[in-house]
Structure 1
């Protein structure tokens, strides 16, 4: 099997289904503001740009805005609640563990590049027993500019000791595809994540419907490179 030297994963909607706990934290926040709650299916299409953007999208859906000081307070409410419930109902997607094991057994360096804050990222992965799979885990506040800026992905590869020229990004959103394009790396999209558009419309280099399809997709990308 011919795999890239490094594979970098998005977190929410790619490795883990965190929408139930994000929904819980968001709706707790909305209740404190006396605003309508957001349906789980709607939250799945709001995730990907961090907590601040998630709250802003919920406020827009409710047809309202907040003054800066009230917005900052709402963000703190969200982060505090989510930190206490980060892995209550979050699970790894099917076949994630098996696929990570196969890739690592073949010498692939694995990393996480996410727009979730570092503290919450570390807390979530540790709670799910996933930390040990990754040589580098880089949250949004650990780099000067987060995804889709290329620097976020580049920093993750560098911390792994990987080679950007032998790296593939795996994600679920336009943000992830744009990040890979900005960094000049191929990208695999998953169809089961939180994209705001059909995953096929992301125009990734490969599209998979299950994590057990990832090895073949990676091999296909390496074959295309010659």
Structure 2
């Protein structure tokens, strides 16, 4: 793996182990608003999409008013339970610290909105490593399109050729590749790298390996 100037990270499923938290929230929301049981595999498979798009997978098309109502209840519930489930994956804190010490530019490119993004990164002591956080409020188009990654590169003043996108889903890999970046898929993902529609440049098993490149 070559050394890069800029590293862009997805958050949920890449840096933070939020799968159980997200499933518990969809379990609650689907029961309350649709009278159905959430399917765990389907919930995990769609992590990385904006929340409204995820909700419409289970509930069908929603009006703007209905989407706001359900989203507000969903996030209120999430904020009531997140401390029980939120944690970084192994090697993540050490890997991020190594990248920061090496002077790398670091960004988050995520479908999580700013409110909980900042809260969860602060809670897990990861916020200090980031130079920019690109959330859905900042772009008109979202993953798997390239716009979020391109936005982060623009803010950081980096080119695609000197940057690496790291994620755990096809949405992340397609986003980075579409922006012209090399991509890395994390081996702790719930998804299978061999089944991704766009092959990643690398599969990584330890985030510290990224930081070691720059030391």
TM-score, normalised by the number of residues in structure 1: 0.83
User: Would the aligned equivalents of 2:96 and 2:208 in 1 still touch at CA under 8 Å?
Assistant: no
Cα distance change of structure 1 residues 214 and 133 upon mapping to structure 2, 3 Å threshold: same
RMSD between superposed Cα atoms in Å = 2.4
Equivalent-residue separation in structure 1 for 2:62 and 2:41 (angstroms): 27
Unpaired runs of 5+ residues, structure 1, are 60-64, 220-226
User: Would the aligned equivalents of 2:134 and 2:152 in 1 still touch at CA under 8 Å?
Assistant: yes
What is aligned with 1:130? Answer: 126
User: Would the aligned equivalents of 1:171 and 1:188 in 2 still touch at CA under 8 Å?
Assistant: yes
User: Would the aligned equivalents of 2:143 and 2:175 in 1 still touch at CA under 8 Å?
Assistant: yes
Residues 94-133 of structure 1: matches in 2 within 5 Å? 94-133=90-129
Q: Which structure 1 residue ranges, 4+ long, deviate > 6 Å from structure 2?
A: none
Instruction: Give the 3-state SS of the residue equivalent to 1:20 in structure 2.
Output: helix
TM-score, normalised by the number of residues in structure 2: 0.86
Answering whether residue 135 of structure 2 is matched by residue 139 of structure 1, we say yes
Residues 1-226 of structure 1: matches in 2 within 5 Å? 3-33=3-33, 35-59=35-59, 65=60, 68=63, 69-195=65-191, 198-202=192-196, 203-215=199-211
Equivalent-residue separation in structure 2 for 1:101 and 1:57 (angstroms): 37
Cα distance per residue 1:145-170 (max 9 Å; x no partner): 22223221121122223333311100
Cα distance change of structure 1 residues 6 and 39 upon mapping to structure 2, 3 Å threshold: same
Equivalent-residue separation in structure 2 for 1:154 and 1:71 (angstroms): 28
Equivalent-residue separation in structure 2 for 1:32 and 1:191 (angstroms): 34
Unpaired runs of 5+ residues, structure 2, are none
Instruction: Give the 3-state SS of the residue equivalent to 2:112 in structure 1.
Output: coil
